[in-house]
Every structure is written in C-alpha cells, then in structure tokens.
Amino acid sequence: MRQLVTWAASACVGFVRAGAVVLVSMLVPAVWAAAVALAIWWGPGNPWSWLPAFLVVCVGSIALSRPVCRMFRFLVGKWTSTVVAPGYREAPPVVRMSTGFWWNGFSYERTSRDARMDQRWRLRWNDPANWRDLRFTAIAPCTAGLVAAVPLAGVATAAIGLGGQTTVARLVGLLGLVVGIGCSPYAWRIAEPVAVRFLRASPAMALAERVGELTSQRADATIAQAAEIRRIERDLHDGAQARLVALGLSLATAEKLMETDPEQARALMRDARAGAATSLTELRELVKGINPPVLNDRGLVAAVRAFALDSPLEVTVSADELRLDPPIESAAYFGIAELVTNAVKHAHATRAHIRIAGDGTGIVVEVEDDGRGGAAERADGGLAGLRRRLAVFDGTLEITSPQGGPTHVRMSVPCESL
C-alpha cells in the first residue's frame, strides 16, 4: 500500500513537472505560431504579410531567449540540485576619466547614461551566451519539450478516448492513460541532460571566466597583503618601536644617574624592565595575529580550541583531528576568528558552536551563534573579505542569518591532503 501511495505521489509530481517543462519549452514556438497566424490573418494574397510575421519571430525569440533559459536553469536546479552556470559576461565598471569622458570597457562616452547604454548593447550582441540561449530556444521544444509532452498527450488521449462510443476508442484511451501515468515520473527528467548539454558555458567561455576570476583573486590577494604589511608596520611603529625607544632613553638616563642618584636610576631601570616586558607582550600578540604559534605546532583544531578558551563567548568546539596544508589552516583559522568576533561585536551573542570536519574532498567549517542575526555581506565588510580569502583556494561561504537569529555560516575549502 505504501509503495502504491509513493508511486501515485511520484506520478502526480512528475506530471506537474512535465507540464512546467512543456510550458517553458514551448514559449518561443508559441510566438512563432502567433506569427504564422498573424501572416494568415493579414492575408495570403498580400505580398507584405510575411514582414510583420518575420518581425514578431525575431523580436519575440530574442526577447524571450534569456528569460526562457533562466526559467529552465531554475527548474533544473530546484528539482535536481544541478547548477547550470549561465556564463554571461559581466559588465565592467563604468569609470569617469580625468578628461571628463566615461569609459565603459569598450568605448568613451560623454555621459554615464550613454556609456551604460552602449555597454549594455555591446554585451547583448557580443556575448556568446546570448546566442547560445537563442539556439537553446530552438532545441528545447524538439528535445525536452517533446519528451515531457508524452504524459500530457497520454492523459489527453485518455480523456478523449474513454469518452468515445466505440471499443477501439476506449482501448486507445486506456492505452493513453497507461502511457501517460507510466511516463509521468520520468518524462521531465530529460530537462537536466538537455540543460547541461546546451546551456552550460563552452570550454572557452569557462576558461575566460576562470582567468578573470584568478586575476581578480590575485588583485585581492595583493591588496590584502599590502594592507597586512601596513598594519604590521603601524603596530610596530606605534607600539613596540616606541616602547623600545623609550626603553633606550630610560637606560641612558639611568646610566648617567647611577653615580649621582642611584635611587632614581634604579626606578628608571624598573620602569625600563616593565617597558621591556610590555614590548615583549606586544610583539607576541603581533606574531600571534600574523600566524599563531599553536597553529604551526599543533594544527587547526588545537588553535581553534585555544582561541575558544580566550573568547568572551561560551564557545563549544566539535572537530575531527585533521592536519591540512598550512595556508588552508591559516585561512580557516582566521575565518573562524572573524565570525566569532562578529558574533561578539555585532550580534551580541552569548554562545557559539564551531564544527570542523572533513567531507572526503576538503574541510567543512560551520560556525553558529545565538545572536540577533541579520548578518549582511557588504562589499567592504569582513564577510566579503572572508569570501575572497576562501576563493583563493576555490572555497565557498554560505551565510544563513535571519532577523532574530541564529546565524549559521558554512565554510568549505577543497584540500587534496585529506
């Protein structure tokens, strides 16, 4: 009984999905049919009747190609979890030059509006993905649309045949019902291979996107490295260096006062010793901020546990014992530190849980806090920087933070050493 109910539910869901595939696939052919109807209505004897039909076919196909492909990608991703990347070219930023003209990546224009309009049209006509979408609107009806229409045609045949008066008509209707119900759970599944085959970016386009992505990552890494060097320089200049200069002056003064005022000299030396201890503490904190010694000596898990003990939050850590490549361990450690710091400063959380595990292909880190939620990724914020840090290793960042909390962040970084 349970299997029968499961089959009935699968058939119903499959029938609805097949109908959705047919509807999306046939949008552009419906425009073509409307164009033919317009030409017939205009009059077969009119020598210009083909012109409006031709215009309707061209404009309708071009206007619907991208929405149809987006809907197809959305349905495939929702039903099968297969992500078909669109592969559209990203518009470069429109920048005003010192001459007053606006550069849009292709040409100079007098105004920002003209530059953006020119850029939009150039991308529209020069992007190979647009022509790939246009090709797909012609392929989809003959492949996915035709196969997905089998359950609908079977049910329609059953409705007509079973209502007939002859035995042959009823047999045909019964056969259509069996075919329609039997194909319903499977007919829509052709949408996935068709989308993957004809909507996925070409190898040349994927390579170009990868080159652009790596170029962006290299620029981000260069900027981050320069900012880190400036931070270290500033910390050394304002902290340890100033204290060491003061220490040298105190020792020089104590040396002069040693014979005339020993008590004052001893006081200066005590102050110098305290200053030396403070400088040493600052240097240790600076080294810890660059690369914690426990991370080098004992690995990521031990470093995270030590960090959790020093955190003002009540932090629990559940982790597999892993040793990864040092750059990946460093990225994961500072990512965890960033997330816990955000939970303290912005979310006003009281507890946090950190989970570190391997999934066979890399490391997965999950950080969840009981704060007020609402974490948003800004272009110049810490979460965006964390995403760029992980992207260097082809890592991903997923943030779930509804208003009122909790905030759940998942970091995933592939690693061949696991």
Whether the CA torsion 290, 292, 298, 300 is positive or negative: it is negative
**Is residue 349 within 8 Å of 369, Cβ to Cβ?**
yes
Q: What is the pLDDT of residues 32-52, one digit of tens each?
A: 888 888 777 776 666 666 777
Q: What is the pLDDT of residues 239-274, one digit of tens each?
A: 666 666 666 766 677 667 677 777 777 776 777 777
Which has more confidence, 277 or 144?
144
- Is the pLDDT score of 163 beyond 80? no
Would you put residue 292 in left (φ > 0), alpha (ψ -120 to 50) or beta?
A: beta
- Is the pLDDT score of 393 beyond 80? no
Please tell me whether the overall predicted TM-score, pTM, comes out greater than 0.85 for this model.
no
Q: What is the pLDDT of residues 97-113, one digit of tens each?
A: 767 788 877 788 888 88
All residues at 6 or more sequence positions from 387 whose CB lies less than 8 Å from its CB, including other chains: 377, 397
Does the bond joining 67 to the residue before it have cis omega, within 30 degrees of 0?
no
* Span 375-394, average pLDDT: 74
- Which pLDDT does position 180 carry in this prediction? 79
The tokens of 102 are what? Answer: 């606006």
Out of 25-39, 112-126, 142-156, 230-244, pick the least confident: 230-244
- Which pLDDT does position 205 carry in this prediction? 65
Q: What is the pLDDT of residues 177-225, one digit of tens each?
A: 788 788 888 888 888 888 888 887 766 666 666 666 666 556 555 555 6
- Which pLDDT does position 11 carry in this prediction? 80
Side-chain-side CA neighbours of 210 within 13 Å: the count stands at: 8
- Which pLDDT does position 168 carry in this prediction? 79
The whole-angstrom separation of Cα 145 and Cα 132 is 18
Give one DSSP letter per residue of 343-380, joined into a string.
Answer: HHHTS--SEEEEEEEE-SSEEEEEEEE-S-------TT
Task: Give the chain's mean pLDDT.
Answer: 77
- Which pLDDT does position 156 carry in this prediction? 84
- Which pLDDT does position 220 carry in this prediction? 59
pLDDT category of residue 375 using cuts at 50, 70 and 90: confident
All residues at 6 or more sequence positions from 73 whose CB lies less than 8 Å from its CB, including other chains: 84, 86, 195, 199
**Is residue 374 within 8 Å of 409, Cβ to Cβ?**
no
The whole-angstrom separation of Cα 303 and Cα 332 is 11
- Which pLDDT does position 204 carry in this prediction? 66
- Which pLDDT does position 206 carry in this prediction? 65
